[in-house]
Structure 1
Amino acid sequence: MAEHSLRAEGISATLDLAVGHIADLTIALDGRTLQPLHRAPWIDTPDLPAGLPAGQARLSGDFLCAPFSSSDVEEAPLHGWPANSAWELLSDEPFDGGRRASFRLQRKVMGATVKKTLVLRDGHPFLYQEHSFTGGAGAISAAHHPITEMRDGGRLAFSPKRLAATPDGAPEPDPVRGESLLAYPARSTDLTRFPTANGRTIDLTCYSASLRHEDFVTLVEAFHGGMGWTAVARAAEQDVVLVLKNPSEFPVTMLWISNGGRYYAPWNGRSGVLGIEDGRTVLGHAASLGDNWLKREGVETTFPLGGTVTFRQIIGALPSESGEAPSLVAGAEGKLRLSFADGTSRMVPFDDGFLRIGTST
């Protein structure tokens, strides 16, 4: 399959052009080589289940979902054509001390032309991404879909969240096919005490390597005026994975917890995957367009089409042996600062203007 790679000092990224997924992100920092994104072990293996969407057959790293989940307005596979069909390279050129590459989806979404721009900067341990929709009609839900591997679990931390909620139905209700741990539907304003199906609670900030389950929960951003962030301190990998957003563009962060809770192919009970999916959406395009629980919370669930709409996201990673997630992540004056509960902090080069905090789409 065709791929396109770009590189800057200390970082490289590769896009799978068949489906628009980030096939690899490699960061060299402090004498370490970090690979924060997961790539499904079944890619390019024979005998995948018939009818499996291309985006699942080639599941990698991060990709654009448009719409998120079911394509039940305009016919397309799960997560839409941007996650399941070909992209073409438009340009790859030096840019502001690094590289910038642009790509165009070869299909249209609701009549809109979709572009992807990837930026790497020398010495920055981050992949900067922008997507744009030009033209079209109606509205589209959208989300990013970063996936990180959690071989031995880890700790999670977030920018302030208003609440966490599960949808009406569990991802795996049939015990023959899999198992889910959380209660459905349920909600909590305390991420460390989320209801489970057995009447207890679980800490959503802890990814346990020993609990076998398949779950999905949506975190709604609080009104704090700053950057939205998720930090994942991975135990086995000894790093902190960062996913950063502008909450005015992506007001929710959805966690896909896939730790051996799907028994059927191609998952086959494989463990240790976490999706950190920032979006403007609920489950399904039609549901996002209509009345839904997030709209009743005052949260937008689609982007209007017709002109040009753009949104941005950042993925990165830093070495860390403490196993602790930061208590605060903030950008200023060309740096990103991670502050920890023990009083220590870490600063790295960062484009603090990229996410356009204080503006809206």
Structure 2
Amino acid sequence: ILTLRDGHPFLYQEHVFSGGHGAISVAHHPMTAMMGGGRLAFSQKRFAATLDDPLEPDPVRGRFLLAYPARSADLGRFPAAGGGTLDLTEYRMDDRREDFITLVEADHGGPGWTALARQAEDDLVLVLKNPAELPITMLWFSNGGRDYAPWSGRHLGVLGIEDGRAAVGHAASIGGNWLRREGVATAFALDESQSVSFRHVIGAMPLSGGEPPQAVTTADGRIRLVTGGAAREVPFDSDFLRIGQPVAA
């Protein structure tokens, strides 16, 4: 169910599974491209972690910058493949890479969000979720990190922002996996007599200055973005994400 509202710079979407049996994993995969890189900000996370293996382990075919496997509670200092650390809040165009990382939401009581201030485009991409429904955010940094067709080193400045309730792959998501061992839900239970739904919001708006917000709150039909000492408000359906309401397992 896709909804647009007059004056709102957002696409509101809801997915509904009616009936069924067993369990199902879910994730959204909005992607954005940048000409000059950008800066990222996030709602509070418990930690970020990479998988056991990189997407492109063969240096003949591609390259990566993050360490695999690795973990950090500091998104500004994530272990790098060559030693030292990298800042996950920076998307640099000169970093040729193919990297995939999972961010686990903290228990902060508000909406989960990812904000991307795109430098050349002078805008802000904002993606929001209910953390109780979608407890993880997977980031795919794809910036010329694959040398073989069809990418051929030309897939530049792309970031996937994938909010989900999943591990990598359906079988892993409904079985045992590392996220479930951390207490993170990776699938919805289905029932022949019930429906399961979850919601997600994607938006974009002009932005000057190139810095994403440090805080995002929603109330009374508005969303409030705080950057430094300045605050900006735009129309937002503050009841849409159902923060604080019970969520099916």
Q: What TM-score do you get using the length of structure 1 for normalisation?
A: 0.67
**Is the counterpart of residue 218 in structure 1 residue 218 in structure 2?**
no
Deviation of residue 158 (structure 1)? Answer: 0.4
Match for residue 272 of structure 1?
A: 157
- Runs (4+) of structure 1 exceeding 2 A deviation are none
**Is the counterpart of residue 312 in structure 1 residue 196 in structure 2?**
no
Match for residue 238 of structure 1?
A: 122
Deviation of residue 330 (structure 1)? Answer: 0.9
Match for residue 221 of structure 2?
A: 334
Q: Counterparts in 2 of 1:70-149, with a 5 A limit? A: 117-149=1-33
Match for residue 142 of structure 2?
A: 258
Match for residue 169 of structure 2?
A: 284
Deviation of residue 266 (structure 1)? Answer: 1.7
1:230-276 Cα offsets, whole Å, 9 max, x none, are: 00000011011000000000000000000110112221212100000
Aligned residues: 244
1:100-137 Cα offsets, whole Å, 9 max, x none, are: xxxxxxxxxxxxxxxxx100000000000000111111
Among 41, 44, 63, the alignment partner of 1:160 is: 44
Match for residue 188 of structure 2?
A: 303
Q: Partners of 1:135 and 1:127 in 2: how far apart?
A: 26
Q: Among the aligned pairs, what percent are the same residue? A: 66
What do you get for the CA RMSD once the two structures are aligned? 0.8
Higher RCO, 1 or 2 (CA under 8 Å, sep at least 6)? 2
Q: What TM-score do you get using the length of structure 2 for normalisation?
A: 0.96
Q: Partners of 2:151 and 2:24 in 1: how far apart?
A: 29
Among 222, 232, 237, the alignment partner of 1:351 is: 237
Structure 1: any 5+ residue segments left out of the alignment? Answer: 1-116
**Secondary structure, counterpart of 2:114 in structure 1:** strand
Q: Partners of 2:147 and 2:19 in 1: how far apart?
A: 42
Larger radius of gyration: 1
Match for residue 74 of structure 2?
A: 190
Q: Partners of 1:268 and 1:121 in 2: how far apart?
A: 40
The code of the aligned residue for 2:190 comes to L
Q: Partners of 1:209 and 1:309 in 2: how far apart?
A: 40
Structure 2: any 5+ residue segments left out of the alignment? Answer: none
Match for residue 73 of structure 1?
A: none
